[in-house]
């Protein structure tokens, strides 16, 4: 930040010759297991941040909703989803006989091989972007990075991340969306999206743990859409203004830390803990040992707007936190037919076929690239590298096309901030 320049070392399209060859070794490991059952591949342990019974928690939440309903925020009741609120408000789709805003989930993972699971994780990213995150997180140790990546892929299957993406924010807890407990807005001095997380809005009793976890996964996946090469990380503001002990939620803290370190590595550029109460230093002593040293090194503290202005330009900083940006979060509800394309099964099948063909071409070019590296043929390695980068762009474009059929629109598409792969915060920023 002092130099005003983004660190792009080890980032896609900014690799040294040595880093590119390590990446080729990573792909060699992937391709060696490509057609194998995912479950048969050794990986890091898949650790639950906290022990809980998902079915029992959901059942208890539903029972409370049915027998002892209470308002959480803005007319949103406990365990009520955005879909529930839309039904209550008469928002429905003309594309569906029953008025559902999104068609029933259809998995796009055809089998249980690593091949199918891998592409379900890559989605609209460049394939290399995903693998490079794990390589950087494991300091370019291929075997460690590979086991970490396989664990993350298995975790996504277990957590049905594909289904969460499919339904978007409509099955999120309504109170969480209405409150704006966490939301992205603007960018910092390095161009990284700013994620505002106001702890004073959060209370553990306001939602079940399964709903909180779903919300967190949805945020992580949605933030991926707001990143682009070379901006591959976010600026997280942990806003502790008006924070009290009532806002502490250890299950949430442990879950967030685990997700960030193990399943979404190298997504955090900086975390600024802002305006913490005097006693928060004691809480930090409990949290810091839970953090990976690399993540812990990215944590900064600021007590006044001047501290935030070191990292965020005055025009980007929210007015309520000492800047000139007058934006105030307000959840935009779904429109009845915003997901019309998702009901087009023929269009989805055509997009999937186009994407699969390009993925096969990319893998073939990657195999040539890996082999050239193994044979020590530098000229062929360079030629294959250029070819696969060209195909990577085509794969990304085809994936973005298919995404329209397999991902519900959400808050950031409704605001106009996210259009395809273009991110434009000016759509919702206002100044004097």
Strands (E), 15-151: 71-73, 76-77
Mark 170-204 as b/e (b = at least 16 C-beta within 10 Å). Answer: bbbbbbbbbbbbbbbbbbbbbebbbbbbbbebbbe
How far apart CA 239 and CA 345 sit, in angstroms, is: 43
Q: 210-219, 281-290, 395-404: which range is least confident on average?
A: 281-290
**Secondary structure class of 212 (helix, strand, coil):** helix
pLDDT at 286: 85
pLDDT for the residue numbered 138: 96
Which H or E element spans position 186?
Answer: strand 182-187
User: What pLDDT score does 50 carry?
Assistant: 84
Taking only the tens place, the pLDDT of each residue in 84-134 is 999 999 999 998 889 999 999 999 999 999 999 999 999 999 999 999 999
Instruction: Flag whether pLDDT at 333 surpasses 80.
Output: yes
Nearest residue to 92 via CA among 407, 335, 332, 333: 335
Q: How far is CA 134 from CA 12, 118, 149, 153, in A?
A: 12, 13, 6, 12
From CA 424, how far away is CA 226, in angstroms rounded? Answer: 10
Q: Is the pLDDT of residue 285 over 90?
A: no
pLDDT of residue 281: 82
Give dist(CA 207, CA 60) in Å, integer. 11
- Cβ distance 84 to 174 under 8 Å? yes
Phi, psi of 262, rounded to the nearest 5 degrees: -95, -35
> Which tens digits make up the pLDDT trace of 157-166?
999 999 999 9
For 48, residues 6+ apart whose C-beta sits below 8 A from its C-beta are none
pTM value surpassing 0.75: yes
The Cα 210–Cα 116 span in angstroms is 26
Q: What's residue 1's pLDDT?
A: 83
For the ranges 168-172, 244-248, 320-324, 331-335, the lowest mean pLDDT is seen at 244-248
Mean pLDDT value across the chain: 95
Residue (of 383, 385, 390, 361) closest to 20 by Cα position: 385
The arithmetic mean of pLDDT across residues 128-155, rounded, is 98
Q: If pLDDT is split at 50, 70 and 90, which confidence band does 432 have?
A: low
* Residue partners of 292: CB distance under 8 A and separation at least 6: 261
Task: Specify the DSSP class assigned to residue 310.
Answer: T
Give the number of other Cβ atoms within 10 Å of residue 244's Cβ: 11
pLDDT digits (tens, 9 = 90+) for 183-212: 999 999 999 999 999 999 999 999 999 999
CA end-to-end distance (rounded Å), the chain: 27
d(CA 22, CA 142): 7
Quick one: angle between helices 142-158 and 127-137, nearest 10? 120
Mean pLDDT of the region 315-323: 95
Q: Decide which of 194 and 49 is more confident.
A: 194
Structure tokens at 61: 């939440």
Contact (Cβ atoms closer than 8 angstroms) between residue 177 and residue 411: yes
Q: How confident is the model at residue 79 (pLDDT cuts 50, 70, 90)?
A: very high
Whether the Cβ atoms of residue 156 and residue 109 lie closer than 8 Å to each other = no
**What is the three-class DSSP state of 3?**
coil
Contact 137, 148 (CB under 8 A): yes
Q: What percent of the chain has pLDDT over 90?
A: 87
Please compute the mean of the pLDDT values over residues 218-227 and round it to a whole number. Answer: 97
**Euclidean distance between CA atoms 126 and 147, whole angstroms:** 20
**CA 351/CA 390 separation, integer angstroms:** 19
Element (H, E) at 262: none
Statement: residue 252 has pLDDT above 70: yes
Q: How many percent of the chain have pLDDT more than 70?
A: 100
Q: Give, to the nearest 10 degrees, the angle between helix 114-122 and helix 142-158.
A: 80
Helix (H, G, I), strand (E, B) or coil at 148: helix
Q: Phi and psi of 270, rounded to 5°?
A: -155, 150
SS3 314: coil
């Amino acid at each position: 930040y002092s130099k005003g320049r983004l660190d792009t070392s080890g980032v896609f399209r900014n690799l040294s010759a040595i880093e590119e060859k390590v990446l080729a070794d990573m792909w060699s490991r992937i391709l060696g297991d490509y057609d194998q059952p995912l479950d048969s591949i050794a990986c890091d342990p898949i650790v639950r941040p906290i022990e809980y019974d998902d079915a029992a928690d959901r059942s208890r939440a539903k029972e409370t909703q049915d027998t002892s309903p209470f308002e959480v925020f803005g007319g949103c009741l406990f365990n009520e989803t955005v879909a529930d609120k839309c039904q209550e408000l008469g928002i429905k789709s003309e594309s569906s006989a029953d008025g559902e805003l999104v068609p029933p989930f259809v998995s796009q993972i055809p089998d249980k091989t690593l091949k199918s699971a891998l592409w379900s994780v890559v989605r609209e990213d460049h394939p290399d972007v995903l693998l490079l995150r794990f390589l950087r997180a494991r300091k370019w140790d291929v075997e460690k990075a590979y086991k970490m990546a396989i664990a993350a892929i298995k975790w996504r299957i277990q957590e049905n991340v594909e289904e969460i993406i499919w339904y978007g924010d409509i099955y999120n807890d309504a109170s969480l969306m209405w409150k704006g407990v966490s939301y992205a807005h603007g960018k910092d001095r390095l161009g990284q999206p700013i994620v505002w997380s106001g702890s004073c809005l959060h209370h553990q009793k306001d939602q079940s743990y399964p709903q909180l976890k779903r919300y967190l996964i949805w945020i992580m996946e949605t933030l991926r859409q707001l990143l682009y090469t070379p901006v591959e990380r976010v600026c997280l503001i942990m806003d502790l203004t008006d924070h009290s002990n009532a806002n502490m939620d250890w299950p949430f803290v442990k879950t967030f830390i685990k997700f960030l370190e193990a399943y979404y590595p190298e997504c955090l550029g900086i975390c600024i803990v802002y305006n913490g109460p005097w006693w928060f230093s004691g809480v930090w002593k409990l949290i810091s040992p839970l953090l990976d040293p690399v993540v812990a090194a990215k944590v900064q503290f600021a007590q006044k707007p001047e501290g935030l202005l070191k990292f965020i330009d005055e025009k980007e900083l929210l007015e309520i936190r000492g800047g000139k940006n007058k934006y105030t979060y307000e959840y935009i509800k779904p429109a009845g037919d915003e997901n019309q394309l998702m009901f087009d099964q023929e269009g989805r099948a055509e997009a999937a076929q186009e994407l699969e063909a390009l993925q096969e071409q990319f893998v073939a070019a990657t195999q040539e690239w890996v082999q050239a590296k193994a044979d020590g043929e530098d000229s062929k390695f360079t030629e294959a590298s250029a070819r696969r980068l060209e195909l990577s762009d085509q794969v990304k474009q085809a994936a973005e096309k298919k995404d329209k059929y397999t991902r519900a629109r959400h808050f950031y598409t409704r605001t106009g901030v996210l259009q395809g792969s273009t991110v434009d915060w000016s759509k919702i920023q206002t100044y004097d």
